[in-house]
A and B are shown apart, each in its own frame.
Chain A
Amino acid sequence: MASSPHKHMDVIHAVQEYVNKMLKEPGMKVLVLDKETAGIVSMVYTQSEILQKEVFLFEKIDNVSKEKMLHMKGVYFIRPTQENINLITDELKDPKYSKYHFFFSNTVNKVFLDDIAKADEQDVVAEIQEYFGDFFAINPDTFSLNMQSILSKRSLGWAMNINRLVDGVFSSMLALKKKPIIRYSSNSEATRYLSEKIAERMSRERDLFDFRKTNESLLLILDRKDDPITPLLHQWTYQAMIHELLTISNNRVSLANAPNIKEDLKEVVLSLDHDAFYRENLYKNFGDLGASIKDLVDQYQDKANTNANIQTIDDMKKFIENYPNFLSFSKTVSKHVALMDELSRIVSVNNLMDISEIQQELACNHDHSSVYSRIIEIINDPKYSEKDKLVVVMLYSIRYEDGHVWELKENLTRVGLSPKQISLIDSLKSYAGAQLREGDLLGTKNIFSFAKSVVKRGLQGVSNIYTQHKPLLHEILDNILKNKLKEQSYPFLSPTNTKERPQDIIIFMIGGITFEEALTIYTFNSLNVGVCRVVLGGTNVLNCNQFLEDISETLRK
């Protein structure tokens, strides 16, 4: 909320506030959620925290048990979809709970309201509210809509899910209490379409935006295709790595595939609020992370030792008091150690160091001859996995679109990749070829910037070759900060004459975001405290596998 500065533009906090408000009603409650809101709530609240608020039961809305619980109040947090409304109206005709409190995660149209009113024959509906928590808050400055395969308008999911997309972005603006001006990426049909839809929605729901004007704010809608490199690269920061190699879904990570894993660690939960170690090391790179883990283990050993020597009654008392803490601490330690163990195992099995080096080389440098021979070597070396080979060639095809892509494909076929896998390279080109991209992804569109990047590299050198790549978002943010974002590339939806630099920025990327971009946002925000604050949203959080899958989806028309 705007009142406390560090909570300003914080999506996790916003959703938490919504949930708090919902459960403020005293008395015994049942919290009823649908599939999506269950995810939304579980991202920001643990079950035990909700139980403290007199919630005695969790229900899925599609649960059909007809056991009457007239001593309970039903608190519904659901999306306003036709299905849910149907379920509600059926329920109201034969109510299970004494009172019904409906909280919709988005605007409810008149027809739905009418339906509910008609069904409410017994006068059990106590309130109907719209709480705009219609997105999955991942980090304080990052949210996603958990929608797969909507890379472009041609994708399969697009037509079916456009409303969900608009709902999600719309609710994020309201949750952050912003009435932004809208800009979009000019070379993309999808961004323009979405921004028009949102503007339409804003003018229709004018009353909701009737709050005291806060800071100058901006909604920038980008398209994944402007930067297809980032999701292909291997990541080396903690959160990004876990997602890349193990996939985080709704804050949960499955370790089921790891060898010799203990039963209780098969699925671990990574919550920013409850895991201090995770929170602190979210953006640390793999090397630093090793050191942090070592510290953590040392701490653990210390504690274990103090626990071991109990001499007096006083010690015992202390031990008993500290034991629950100690237990949860030990759980955290074992969780992170297991995670690290699994990550390093995957890294060494797949020789990801080498792969990442060549990936970074391709992403950042323009030196064809040496890179080409290295790629040929990698393709012919059986110790690298097929996927990594494919990704390297894809990166090559982005960097050198007119280069020897054809020969490399031949090579890939020869080492045994299926034609379907190889066709992804063409799909990528038709999705995000150089002609289709907006902005200067490779820094080669004009000589000036090319020279600048070369000089910069020559002068400063590179601190870490594995993390030298900066996503396109970085440049966009820089330009926003200098208020020099080009109007031809990122036009305003409606002509405005404000030339002020926006202070609160919501960036939404159609096609999904990556944790590397989340890191960029995080660094940007911490460098510009009090100047500018950015929240990044996307249809999904991508990792390489997901991105490849989405690209193959675009092929089917």
Chain B
Amino acid sequence: MVWSDRTSEFGNLAEAIRRKQEQNGVQLSQRKLSPANQKSQFSYAAAKISRGVFETSEKLTKLTNMAKNTKLFMDSSAQIEELTFIIKQDIQSLNRELSALDQYVKSSRQPNKQTGDHSETIVGFLNTKLISATKDFKDILEVRTESLKQQQEKKDSFAGYSSNTYSTTIDNPSDNILYKYDEEEDYDSSAQEHSILMPTELTTTNYTASRLRAAENISSTIHQLEGIFSQLANLVSQQGEVIERIDANMDDTLLNIGRGHDSLVTTLYNISSNRSLIIKIFLVLIIFSIIFIVFFA
């Protein structure tokens, strides 16, 4: 009777398909976890982080869209700032969790070496995912900075023009004064105009100040991100070390197997030679005992 179990193959397939769907951005229906299928603490944490990374990357795409769509008069800088803040928080917390997980893996006693390796690989995988997300974030921020700069330039050029108009309007009333001095109403109106213009100027300065703040914010975020990057880079280099170690281990194993084989062969040789020796000894013993019995007993 022969049978073959294809469940594991099926499991792999299903997993692969699921991953593909995830990459395509298909939101998975909330999967029920039966109590029989309880995962370990580690896999729960890993799944959580992975989900976090996924959500963050979704937010990132939203942010990208916003940052790219920003027009001069349709500015959503408040939203962008908020989102940036959230993402920054997310990435920080994810990073914290990831390092905690890494610590956990390193500190906790794994049932065997393979599980340990497996966990490490998972941590590494999550690391790379997080890094790519962070990188995206950084890119977006740079884009944002760029667009802000451009806007600033534009605004400056506009502002230049508006200051011109302003000076003309400043000049105008004097003309008016010169020209139509006695026409009170007109003067009033121009004075009014003047008074209206003053707040506009104020708001413009306000606006630039906020821009500045945003830019500063962004640069500080980038700075923090740099910190995160270096941390992650550290982790990745550790991973690389592990991988190298695995490679070295493989070589060692190969060597050991070869040695084992050699020693087995020598043992076989020894045994076979010993066998003849034992037979000889017994022969001698038997002959001796026969001689003893026959002649001396």
Contact = CB atoms under 8 A, between A and B. Distances in A.
- A interface residue count range (under 10 / 10 to 19 / 20 to 34 / 35 or more): 20 to 34
B178 interface: no
25 contacts: A1-B1, A18-B1, A18-B3, A21-B3, A113-B6, A113-B13, A114-B17, A120-B14, A121-B29, A122-B29, A123-B14, A123-B32, A125-B14, A127-B5, A129-B4, A129-B7, A130-B3, A130-B5, A132-B1, A132-B2, A175-B1, A175-B2, A177-B1, A207-B4, A208-B2
B109 interface: no
A114 B18 CA distance: 12
Interface string A102-129: 0000011000011011101111011111
B2 A129 contact: no
A117 B1 contact: no
Contact of A114 (B4, B13, B31): B13
Task: Tell me whether chain B's interface is mostly helix, strand or loop, or mixed.
Answer: mixed
A83 to B, nearest CB: 20
Given A129-B3, A131-B3, A175-B1, A113 B29 contact: no
B202 to A, nearest CB: 59
A177 B2 contact: yes
Given A121-B29, A122-B32, A113 B3 contact: no
Nearest to B31: A123
Interface string B7-25: 1011001100100000000
Interface of A: 1, 14, 17-18, 21, 107-108, 113-114, 116-118, 120-123, 125-132, 174-177, 207-209, 211
Interface in B9-52: 9-10, 13-14, 17, 29, 31-32
B3 A117 contact: no
A113 B17 CA distance: 12
A113 B1 contact: no
Interface residues of B, number: 15
Interface string B82-103: 0000000000000000000000
A120 B6 CA distance: 15
B65 to A, nearest CB: 30
A229 B2 CA distance: 36
A234 to B, nearest CB: 38
3 cross-chain pairs, A with B, having the tightest CB-CB distances, nearest first: A117-B13, A117-B14, A174-B2
A46 to B, nearest CB: 21
A208 B4 contact: yes
* Most B C-beta atoms less than 10 A away, residue of A113, A117, A129: A117
A128 B6 contact: yes
Interface of B: 1-7, 9-10, 13-14, 17, 29, 31-32
Given A118-B17, A122-B32, A123-B31, A129 B6 contact: yes
Contacts of B1: 1, 14, 17-18, 132, 174-177
A122 B28 CA distance: 10
A123 B1 CA distance: 30
B133 to A, nearest CB: 27
A208 B2 CA distance: 8
Given A113-B6, A113-B9, A130-B5, 13 more contacts: A114-B17, A118-B17, A121-B29, A123-B32, A125-B10, A127-B7, A128-B7, A128-B9, A128-B10, A129-B7, A130-B3, A130-B4, A174-B3
A391 B14 CA distance: 59
Contacts of B2: 132, 174-175, 177, 208-209, 211
Contact of B17 (A117, A122, A131): A117
A130 B9 CA distance: 12
A198 to B, nearest CB: 15
Nearest to A103: B3
A59 B270 CA distance: 65
A128 B7 CA distance: 5
A132 B6 contact: no
Contacts of B32: 122-123
A129 B5 contact: yes
Contacts of B13: 113-114, 117
A125 to B, nearest CB: 7
Contacts of A207: 4
Nearest to B4: A130
Contacts of B5: 127-130
A73 to B, nearest CB: 12
B6 A130 contact: yes
A471 to B, nearest CB: 29
Contacts of A18: 1, 3
A208 to B, nearest CB: 6
Contacts of B29: 121-122
A170 to B, nearest CB: 11
A14 B31 CA distance: 39
Nearest to B3: A131
B142 to A, nearest CB: 40
A223 B14 CA distance: 44
B13 to A, nearest CB: 4
A366 B94 CA distance: 95
A136 B17 CA distance: 37
Nearest to A101: B7
A107 B4 CA distance: 9
A504 to B, nearest CB: 14
A84 B103 CA distance: 49
Nearest to A13: B1
* Most A C-beta atoms less than 10 A away, residue of B1, B3, B9: B1
A533 to B, nearest CB: 15
A174 B1 CA distance: 6
B10 A117 contact: yes
